[in-house]
Structure 1
Amino acid sequence: MKTPSCTLLAEVRAFRQKHPDVRYVDLIALDIPGHFYGKRYPVEMLEKVAAGSPLKLPQNAVLLGVQGGLFKIGDYCFNDGDPDANRRLVPGTLKPVSWESQPLGQMLITSDGTDAPIEFEPREVLARVLQRLQRKGIHPVVAFELEFYLFDKKLANGLPQFPRDPLSDDADDQPNLHIERLSRFSAVLDDMAQTARDQGIDSTVITAEIGPGQFEINFGHSDDALRAADWAALFCRSTRGVALKHGYRASFMAKPYLQFPGSGMHVHVSLYDGAGNNLLAAHQQQPLRHAVAGCLQLLPHCMPIFAPNHNALRRLGGTVNAATRASWGFEDRDACLRIPESDPRNLRIEHRLASADANPYLVLAAILAGLEHGLETRQEPIAPLNDDRSSGTDFPVEMLDAVRAMQHHTVVRDTLGAEFVDVYCENKRQDHLAFQQEINAREYRWFL
C-alpha cells in the first residue's frame, strides 16, 4: 500500500507550481466520531514529508469524543503516555481549499499502510476489510449518497432557522421536492458541487429533498472503495465551508427537525470477481440473497456505527423512508436494504440505514462485513417487504443497548477487529453518558 516517495514528491511539487500562493496545507484524518483532526503544515515542510521524512501525530487523536475530549478507554489516553503514531500521505488528495479567506491546501493522511497502523483508526478498519475481501477475489464497487440541511447562518436562541430564499428573502419553510428549489439555491449548490469536483470527488446528481432546506448530492460509483469513503468524508468538510461562504450553515445532523425527515447516508455496493463479473448476479441471483441475509444478521449488532449518537437514533422510524426494523425489498425505500432495479451487470444493494453524520469508513466496513458474512454462511434472508409488509427483525434503538449488542458479537469482532470494537463501543458509551450530564429546559419544565 506504500506509495513511492517520488510519486508523492511529484504531486506536491506540481501542486506548488499550480498554486504558488498557497503557504500552508492542512493534513487531516477522520477520528472515530467522524470529525477531522490534523496539523497545518508549511508547504515546504510537506515536500520533506513527501520525500520520506516521518509524519507523526498522537495516536489518541483518533479517540476523541464528539465534543473533542478524551475518554479513558482501557489503557489508552491516560495510562499509555500519549504516544505518537506514524501517518502517511494519501496520494491524489492534495487539493486547494477554496472556501477559506486565505489560500490553503488540504491532504488526507492515514495510518493504514504504515509499519504499525492504528487498529482502531476508521480508515484502517475499512482497509483491513478490503484486504481480506481482495484475498478472497472479491472487489467492491461503491457509491455514496449524502443528504444534508441548509440553515440560516444565524441561530435563534441556539436553534437552527430555515434558510432564506435568495430570491424572495422568505424562509424556505415548505417541505417539497420541487425542482425550483434547486434554482433558488443554485449559487450555493453549484459551488458545493464544483468545490467537490475540485477536491477530486466525482459528484453527480443534486436533488431537492422533502425537508425544508434539505438536499442530496450523489457521487459516482468507484472501484476504489477507500477512495469512495474518502470522497464522502471530504464532501462533508467542503460543503460546510462553502455554505458558510454563502451565508448559510450546512449540517449533516441526522434529525435536526422532529417533524421533518432526517438525513441519511445511502451506500450502493456491488461485488465483482477478478474478471469483472458481478458476483451478486450469479446463479439466478442466489448470492444476492445470501449477501442480504448476512447484512440483515449483522445489522442489529452494528447500530452504533449506523446511528452513532443520540440524535441519529431519533431518525429511525416515524417519517418518510426511514426503516424501523432490519428489512429488505426490491425497489422499496422503506427497507434498510433496497435492491434497485438494474441489469445483471449493475446489480447492487443500497444500504439506507446509516445517518448522514455517521463515519463513512466504518459504515462501509460494516456493510462489507455483512455481505462477506452472508456469502460465506449462505443462508436465506427473511421475506422481502414486497411479499410481506411486516417482515423484518428488531434492532436496538437505545445507545447503551446498541453498544452491548455490538461489543460481544463474535462475527462483528472477528470481521471488524476486536480491538476496534472494544475501543469504539467504549467511546460511544462515554459519549452517551457525557450527553446525559446536561439538564435541558424541558427537564426543568417537567420536574421543577
Structure 2
Amino acid sequence: MKSPCASLLAEVRTFRQHHPEVRYVDLIALDIPGHFYGKRYPIDMLEKVAAGSPLKLPQNAVLLGAQGGLFKIGDYCFNDGDPDANRRLVPGTLKPVSWESQPLGQMLITSDGTEAPIEFEPREVLAKVLERLRHKGIHPVVAFELEFYLFDKKLDNGQPQFARDPLSGDADDQPNLHIERLSRFSEVLDDMARTAKDQGIDITVITAEIGPGQFEINFGHDSDGLRAADWAALFCRSTRGVALKHGYRASFMAKPYLQHPGSGMHVHVSLYDGAGNNLLAAHQQQALRHAVAGCLELLPHCMPIFSPNHNAFRRLGATVNAATRASWGFEDRDACVRIPESDPRNLRIEHRLASADANPYLVLAAILVGLEHGLETQREPIAPLNEDRASGIDFPLEMLDAVRAMQHQPVLRDKLGAEFVDVYCENKRQDHLAFQQEIHAREYRWFL
C-alpha cells in the first residue's frame, strides 16, 4: 500500500501530466458561514506539500463572518496572536477549474486528520461524528439535494432580476415544474453538470423547481459522509462560476423572493451495520422511530445550523414545503423529517429543513447526532403528520433565540464538541448583530 505522501505525490504528478497548462492551484476549505477560504499555490509548491512539506494557514480563517470580518470570540482572533494551524490535502480532490479565465486547479484542504485539528472547523466536526459512529458499528450512507436559483447577471439597484429565457429573451418569471424549462436552460445546466462531474461529483437528477429560474440537483448516495459533504460544498462553488460564464448568477440564498419558494438542502441518510444490514429497518422499523424521535428532539436546538442567517429564517413557513415546527411523516414533503417510500434495504430519512446556503458539513453532523441520540435513548416520536396534521415541536424562528437554544444543549455540547458549539453560537450571534447595524431605506420611509 502506498503511503499518504506517495499517493498524494502521484495524484499531483498525474494531474500535471494531464493538465500541463495549469500553473496555479487553489487550496480551499469551508469556513463556518459556508464560504471557501484558502491560498493560490504554484503547482510546483503543491508537489512539495504533497511530498510532506508543511501546509499552514491562519487558524482563525475558519472564524470569518458572513462578510469576511473577524469577531472577538473568547480569546480567538484578537488575544491569541492569530496563530497558523496545519492543514492537509484531501486526497482525490485535485481537479481542473474550467470556469475561470485562466487555467487553474483546485484542491480541498482540511485540518481533520492532522496532529492538532481545529475543533471548530466544520469538516473536523463532521469527521469526529463519523469516527464515533464508526466505532459504534454505525455506517451512514448519505445523499444531498440542493436547490438554487438562476438570476440575470446584472442586478437592478442591488435587486436580483429574473433569469432571461435563452430562447425568447424574456424573463423566466412563471413559476412551474415544466420539463421544457430544462430544455430552455440546457446550455448552462449541462455545463454545470459536466463541470460537477469533472470535479468528481456524482450528480444524478436535475429538476426544474417551482420558483422562476429555480432548479434542483441531486447527488448520488455515498458511504463516505465527508465526501458527500465535499460534493455539496464543491458543487456550490463550481455552479456559481459556470453561471457567470453563461451570463447568469447562480445563488443558493435561502429566500431570494418573498412570493416564491425558498431553496433548501435536503439530506437523505440511511444507517448500516458492518454486515450491510439497514439499522433503521431493525425490529420492524422500531429503530427508525427512535432515530426520528432523536432528530426531532434536537432539531429546535440545531436551528443556527439549519438556518444559518437572517434570510434563511424567512424561508420557514413560507409558501411550499417549509415547516415552522419539527415534524415527521411518511411520504410527506411538509414534514421536516420525511420517510420516503422504499424497501427495507434502502429505508432512510430525508431531512428537509436546512436552507441551501447552510454549511453541508455541519448540517450532516447535526442530523447524524440526532439519529445517534435517538438510537441511544430509544424514545417514541410524536405522531406523524399522516396521523395528525397539527403534530409538531416548536422551534426558534429568530437567530438570537436559536443561538440561546443551541448553546447550552448538553447533547450537542457532548456530541458536536463544547468548543465548537460556543464558537459557532458566538459567530452567529455576532453576524446577526452586525447585520442589524445598517438602517434600511424602509426605516426612513416609515419613521423619518
Q: Show the 5 A alignment for 1:11-410.
A: 11-410=11-410
For residues 200 and 364 of structure 2, what CA distance do their matches in structure 1 show?
Answer: 20
Give a deviation string over 1:371-403, Cα, whole Å, max 9, x none. 000000000000000000000010000100000
Q: Deviations over 1:127-156 (max 9, x none)?
A: 000000000000000000000000000000
CA distance in 1, matches of 2:124, 2:443: 41
Gap runs ≥5 in structure 1: none
1:339/1:350 contact within 8 Å kept: yes
1:434: which partner in 2?
434
Q: State the Cα distance separating 1:4 from its structure 2 match.
A: 1.3
SS at match of 2:393: coil
Q: Supply the distance in 1 between the matched residues of 2:233 and 2:415 (Cα, whole angstroms).
A: 22
Rounded to whole Å, the distance in 2 between the matches of 1:77 and 1:15 is 36
How far did residue 79 of structure 1 move? 0.1
CA distance in 1, matches of 2:383, 2:442: 42
Q: What is the distance in 2 between the residues matched to 1:3 and 1:266?
A: 36
Q: Give the counterpart letter for 2:406 in structure 1.
A: M
The verdict on how the C-alpha distance between 1:350 and 1:3 changes in structure 2, with shifts beyond 3 A counting, is farther
Deviation at 1:31, TM superposition (A): 0.1
* Residue aligned with 1:76, SS: coil
- Give distance in 1, aligned partners of 2:146 and 2:265: 5
Opposite residue 338 of structure 1, the aligned amino acid is R
Structure 1 residue matching 2:326: 3-state secondary structure: coil
Contact 1:65-1:431 at 8 Å conserved across structures: yes
Q: Which amino acid aligns with 1:190?
A: D
Q: Gapped runs of 5+ residues in structure 2?
A: none
Describe the superposition over 1:130-184 as per-residue Cα deviations: whole angstroms up to 9, x where unpaired: 0000000000000000000000000000000000000000000000000000000
SS in 2 for 1:363: helix
Q: Measure the CA separation in 2 of the matches of 1:380 and 1:163.
A: 46
Aligned residue for 1:157, secondary structure, equals coil
Aligned residue pair count: 447
C-alpha contact 1:3 1:91 (8 A) present in aligned 2:
no
Task: Output the amino acid matched with 2:164.
Answer: R
Identity of aligned residues (%): 90
Question: What residue in structure 2 maps to residue 422 of structure 1?
Answer: 422
Aligned-partner Cα distance in 2 for 1:230–1:327: 28
**Cα pair 1:323 1:353 within 8 Å, conserved:** yes
Shift of 1:3: 6.1
Query: Are the counterparts in 2 of residues 255 and 314 from structure 1 also a CA contact under 8 Å?
Result: yes
Give SS of 1:70's match.
Answer: coil
Look up the SS of the partner of 1:165 in the other structure. coil
Q: Is the contact between residue 126 and residue 361 of structure 1 (CA under 8 Å) also seen in structure 2? A: yes
- SS in structure 2 opposite 1:329? strand
Equivalents in 1 of 2:263, 2:225: separation in Å? Answer: 22
Q: d(CA) in 2 for partners of 1:439 and 1:44? A: 49
Query: Equivalents in 2 of 1:241, 1:68: separation in Å?
Result: 20
Q: For the residues of structure 2 that align with 1:224 and 1:413, how far apart are their CA atoms? A: 24
Distance 2:93 2:221 in 1: 18
Deviation of 1:324 after TM superposition, in Å, equals 1.2
Q: What amino acid maps onto 2:141 in structure 1?
A: V
Equivalent position amino acid for 2:42 in 1: P
Q: Residues 330-376 of structure 1, C-alpha deviation per residue, up to 9 Å, x if partnerless?
A: 00000000000000000000000000000000000000000000000
Residues 263-315 of structure 1, C-alpha deviation per residue, up to 9 Å, x if partnerless? 00000000000000000001100000000000000000000000000000000
**1:318 Cα deviation from its structure 2 partner:** 2.3
Name the amino acid aligned to 1:331. Answer: E
Aligned to 2:444: 444
Which runs of at least 4 in structure 1 moved beyond 3 Å after TM superposition?
none
